[in-house]
Amino acid sequence: MLHQKKIYKLKQVTKLKFSDNYSSNPITLFHTDTTVDGAINKNYILPLSPQEKEIKIKFVEIYFYMDELNNFEIFVSKLDILTLGTRYSILFRVCFGDSAKFKMLGSQLSFDVNDPSLKLDYLYQLHNNILTRLETSMLNYNFTGDDIITIQFLIYKVYYNEKIIKSPQNIFTLNKLGLNKDLVDTTIDKINLGYNKLLPLSMEISDYDKLVELDLKSYGNDKIVLDNNTKLFSDKDNKYVISLDTKYIEGYPNHDVNVYTPNGLKVLNILDKKINNNTFSRTVGNITNIISNNNLITNTRVKLKLDVVERPKIHRTLANLQINSPFIGSLDIETFKMDSISKVYALGYYTKRYGLKTFYINKDLNSDILVADCIDSLLNSKYNGYTFYVHNLGRFDSAFILKSLLVKNRTNEDKYIIDPLCRENNLILSLIITRKQKNKTYSIKLVDSYNILSHNLKSLCQTFQTETSKDIFPYNFVNKDTLFYSGIRPDIKYYNEDVTLETIQSIPFNDWNTERETIKYLNKDLISLFQVMNKFSDHIFLKYNVQVSSCLTISSIAMKIFLFKYYKDNLALINKRSVYEDIKLSYFGGVTEVYKPYGENLYYYDVNSLYPYVALNCMPGNNCIFENDINMLLKDMLSAFGFFYCSIKTTNSYLGLLPVRNAKGIIMPNGEWKGWYFSEQLKFAEKNGYVIKVLKGYHFDKIYGVFDSYVKDFYNIKANSKNLVEKSVAKRLLNHLLGRFGLNIYKPSTRLIDKHEFNDLSQSKQIINFINIEDIYLTSFINKTSKNICDQFNVDYKNTVINNLKSKQENEDTFKDVSIAIASAVTSYARIFMGGIKLQVLNNNGKIYYSDTDSLVTDKPLPDNIVGTNIGQFKLEYIMSKGYFISSKTYCLILGNGTPKITTKGVNDNKLNENSFIKLLKGDKVESQRFESISNFSEGYVNILARKAIVLDGDAYTKRTKIFIDNLWIDTKPLIIGDTDTPKMYTKEKEKEKEKEISLKADSYKKRVKLYQNGHWTDTKPIMLEAGLINIGENRLKVLISFLFILALILYGVSFLFSSSPEEWDDDLDISLNQNLKLNIEKKDMSGGVIVNDSRNDSKNSTTENNDGVIVNDSRNSYIYDSRNDSRNDSKNSITENNDGVIVNDSRNSYIYDYRNDSKNSITENNNNNNK
Q: Can you point out the beta strands (E) in 449-528?
A: 486-487, 512-513
- Of 244-253, 519-528, 884-893, 960-969, give the lowest mean pLDDT range: 244-253
pLDDT single digits (tens) 675-715: 999 999 999 999 999 999 999 999 999 999 999 999 999 99
DSSP 1025-1041: -TTS--B-TT-HHHHHH
> What is the per-residue pLDDT for 533?
95
| Range with the poorest average pLDDT among 573-587, 621-635, 941-955 | 941-955
More confident residue, 820 or 143: 820
Sequence-distant (6+) residues with CB within 8 A of 1015 are 117
Q: Hey, which residues does 1012 pair with through a beta bridge?
A: 1017
Region of residue 1127 (phi > 0: left; psi between -120 and 50: alpha; otherwise: beta): beta
For residue 153, the model assigns a pLDDT of: 87
pLDDT at 1140: 39
Contact 1139, 1133 (CB under 8 A): no
Question: By the 8 A CB rule, do 238 and 262 touch?
Answer: yes
The confidence band for 578, taking pLDDT boundaries of 50, 70 and 90, is: confident
Which pLDDT band, with edges at 50, 70 and 90, does 645 fall under? Answer: very high
In sequence order, the β-bridge partners of residue 391 are none
Res. 13: pLDDT tops 50:
no
Lowest mean pLDDT across 353-362, 425-434, 652-661, 829-838: 425-434
Flag the least confident range among 237-251, 411-425, 1089-1103: 1089-1103
Q: Is 766 in contact with 786 (CB distance < 8 Å)? A: yes
Cα-Cα end-to-end distance for the chain: 38
Give the residue, 304 or 605, on which the prediction is more confident.
605
Phi, psi of 1115 (to 5 degrees): -75, 0
Q: What is the pLDDT of residue 1167?
A: 37
Residue 656 banded pLDDT, cuts 50, 70, 90: very high
State the pLDDT confidence band at 795, using cuts at 50, 70 and 90.
Answer: confident
Enumerate domains of the chain plus CATH numbers.
Answer: 174-305 (no CATH), 319-476+513-557 (3.30.420.10), 1009-1146 (no CATH)
Distance in angstroms (rounded) separating the CA atoms of residues 509 and 488: 5
Q: pLDDT at position 191, please?
A: 66
* Residues 1011, 1127 contacting (CB under 8 angstroms): no
For 741, residues 6+ apart whose C-beta sits below 8 A from its C-beta are 818, 819, 820, 822, 823, 826
Top mean-pLDDT range of 286-300, 956-970, 979-993? 956-970
What's phi and psi for 174, nearest 5 deg? Answer: -70, -25
Average pLDDT over residues 237-263: 83
Instruction: State how far the Cα of 899 lies from the Cα of 884, in Å rounded to an integer.
Output: 14
Which H/E stretch holds residue 438? none
Query: What digits encode the pLDDT tens for the residues 1084-1110?
Result: 333 333 333 333 334 333 444 443 333
| Range 501-525 average pLDDT | 87
Mean pLDDT of 725-737: 93
Model confidence at 1019, pLDDT cuts 50, 70, 90, reads low
Instruction: Check if the beta carbon of residue 235 is closer than 8 Å to that of residue 208.
Output: no
User: Region 566-577: what's the mean pLDDT?
Assistant: 88
DSSP 700: E
Rounded average pLDDT over 434-441: 87
| pLDDT for the residue numbered 604 | 97
Confidence of residue 370 (pLDDT cuts 50, 70, 90): very high
Is 723 in contact with 542 (CB distance < 8 Å)?
A: no
Task: Among 361-365, 909-913, 1136-1140, name the most confident range.
Answer: 361-365
Highest mean pLDDT among 97-111, 306-320, 553-567, 1070-1084: 553-567
Stronger pLDDT, 1055 or 999, i.e. the higher one = 1055
Check: pTM over 0.75? Answer yes or no: no
Identify the pLDDT of residue 233.
83
pLDDT tier at 1126, thresholds 50, 70, 90: very low
- Percent of the chain residues topping a pLDDT of 90: 33
What is the pLDDT, as a whole number, of residue 631?
86
Three-state DSSP state, 998? helix
Q: DSSP letter string over 80-111?
A: TT--TT-EEEEEEEEEETTTTEEEE-SS-EEE
For residue 233, give every residue at least 6 positions away whose Cβ sits within 8 Å of its Cβ, in sequence order, or none. Answer: 208, 211, 212, 213, 214, 241, 242, 243, 244
- Per-residue pLDDT band at 314 (split at 50, 70, 90): low
The H-assigned helical ranges of 574-650 are: 577-584, 610-614
Contact 662, 144 (CB under 8 A): no
Asked whether residue 133 carries a pLDDT value surpassing 60, the answer given is: yes
Residue 296's pLDDT band, with cuts at 50, 70 and 90, is confident
Q: Which residues contact 186 (CB under 8 A, 6 or more apart)?
A: 268, 284, 285, 286, 287
pLDDT tens-digit map of 113-123:
777 777 788 88
> Is it the case that residue 1 has pLDDT exceeding 90?
no
The region of weakest confidence among 72-81, 462-471, 839-848 is 72-81
Q: What's the rounded mean pLDDT across residues 833-844?
A: 96
Q: What is the mean pLDDT of the chain?
A: 75
**CA–CA separation, 9 vs 18, rounded Å?**
24
What is the pLDDT averaged over residues 991-1012?
48
Using the predicted structure, report yes or no on whether residue 573 has a pLDDT greater than 50: yes
Q: Contacts from 265-273 at CB under 8 Å and sequence distance 24+?
A: 265/223, 266/223, 267/190, 267/193, 267/240, 268/186, 268/190, 268/193, 268/194, 270/194, 270/199, 272/203, 273/249
DSSP string, 17-38: --------S---S---EE-TTS
Residue 92 pLDDT: 84
Amino acid 1012: pLDDT: 63
Question: Are 914 and 894 in contact, with CB atoms under 8 Å apart?
Answer: yes
